[in-house]
């Protein structure tokens, strides 16, 4: 199987960004089946719908949209600004989401890491971002969650993770990326489409509430055991 191409979108433009350092550390630790890189977003002009409607999108938007279309999945690594995501990240998301019906995000698996020097690890930004991902139809890795706090103490003078943090971080990254990879496999297999169809046939109803239903297609491939879904 060829390596899955993962875009690591970093929500900070700061030269000494903790988020960028985390993103770089994660790229170094990525498993062989993933090839990850950081597409730039700081050069994107503010999104203005008129430019798409008039058929004159900014050249930077077009380049970004074309580049993003080539990735299999997206890992967001973002700071928290005023309990939400930085404008530069939201702008990149908006640019990629239009023109209407041509979103480059649609269907791409995603994972979110938030990083902050603060104690709560950018929880607010992490979940604000997830709200957008729902609308963008990006299946998002649920576990492990990654709210990295105390980021100012994680790096040495060379911008590398300190040894203790490397160990802890390495474990977390392995769990995170190994979670993202099955998400990719699921998404790309036709079995997943069958499973989605099965789910959509299960109409929520009073008599079905609380019951579990097997999904006939093995969502992780033909050899995996069937999983079930539950209506609540
Ligand atoms: C405009 C602005 C708003 C911020 N709001 C928050 C916040 O809501 N929560 C938080 O934990 N840190 C907040 N911070 C501090 C950032 O977490 C800190 O600047 C961090 O280093 C930014 O990430 P970076 O190092 O990747 O650039 C804010 C910083 C700025 C500049």
pLDDT range class, residue 85, cuts 50, 70, 90: very high
Site to substitute for ligand 1 among 38, 76, 81, 113, most atoms within 8 A of C-beta: 81
Nearest CA to ligand 1 atom 28: 81
Own/partner pairs, 26-33, CB within 8 angstroms, 24+ separation: 26/75, 26/77, 26/113, 26/173, 26/176, 26/177, 29/169, 29/170, 29/173, 29/174, 29/177, 30/6, 30/173, 30/177, 31/174, 31/177, 31/178, 31/181, 32/3, 33/1, 33/3, 33/4, 33/181
Mean pLDDT of 31-54: 95
Site to substitute for ligand 1 among 13, 38, 80, most atoms within 8 A of C-beta: 80
Specify the pTM.
0.79
Tell me, in angstroms, the distance from the centre of ligand 1 to residue 18's CA.
10
User: Is pLDDT at 211 greater than 90 in this prediction?
Assistant: no
Q: Specify whether the backbone of 211 is left (phi greater than 0), alpha (psi in -120 to 50) or beta.
A: beta
Q: Any residues with Cβ below 6 Å from ligand 1, and which?
A: 12, 14, 17-19, 79-83, 116-118, 122
- Number of Cβ within a 10 Å radius of residue 10: 29
Tell me the pLDDT tens digit for each residue of 169-206: 666 666 666 666 656 555 544 433 443 443 344 444 44
CATH (residue range 4-188): 3.40.50.360
How high is the pLDDT of residue 187?
Answer: 52
Q: What are the structural domain ranges in the chain?
A: 4-188, 191-230
User: What Cα–Cα distance (Å) separates residue 18 from each residue in 146, 184, 223?
Assistant: 14, 27, 41
How high is the pLDDT of residue 184?
Answer: 59
Tell me, in angstroms, the distance from the centre of ligand 1 to residue 114's CA.
11
Kindly state the helix (H) or strand (E) to which residue 64 belongs, with its residue range: helix 59-69
How high is the pLDDT of residue 158?
Answer: 85
How high is the pLDDT of residue 215?
Answer: 32
């Amino acid at each position: 199987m060829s390596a899955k191409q993962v875009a690591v979108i970093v929500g900070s433009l700061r030269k000494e960004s903790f988020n960028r350092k985390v993103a770089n550390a994660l790229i170094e630790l990525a498993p062989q089946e993933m090839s990850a890189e950081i597409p730039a977003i700081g050069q994107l002009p503010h999104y203005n719908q008129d430019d798409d409607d008039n058929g004159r999108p900014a050249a930077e938007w077009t380049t970004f949209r074309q580049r993003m279309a080539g990735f299999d999945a997206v890992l967001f690594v973002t700071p928290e600004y005023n309990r939400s995501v930085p404008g530069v990240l939201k702008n990149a998301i908006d640019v990629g989401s239009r023109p209407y019906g041509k979103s480059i995000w649609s269907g791409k698996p995603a994972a979110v890491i938030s990083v902050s020097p603060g104690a709560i690890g950018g929880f607010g930004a992490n979940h604000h971002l997830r709200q957008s991902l729902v609308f963008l139809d990006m299946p998002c890795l649920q576990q492990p969650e990654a709210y990295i706090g105390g980021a100012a103490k994680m790096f040495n003078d060379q911008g590398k993770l300190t040894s203790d943090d490397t160990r802890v971080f390495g474990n977390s990254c392995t769990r995170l990326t190994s979670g993202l990879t099955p998400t990719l496999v699921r998404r790309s297999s036709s079995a997943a489409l069958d499973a989605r169809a099965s789910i959509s046939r299960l109409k929520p109803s009073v008599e079905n509430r609380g019951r579990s239903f097997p999904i006939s297609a093995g969502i992780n491939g033909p050899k995996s055991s069937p999983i079930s879904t539950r209506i609540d």
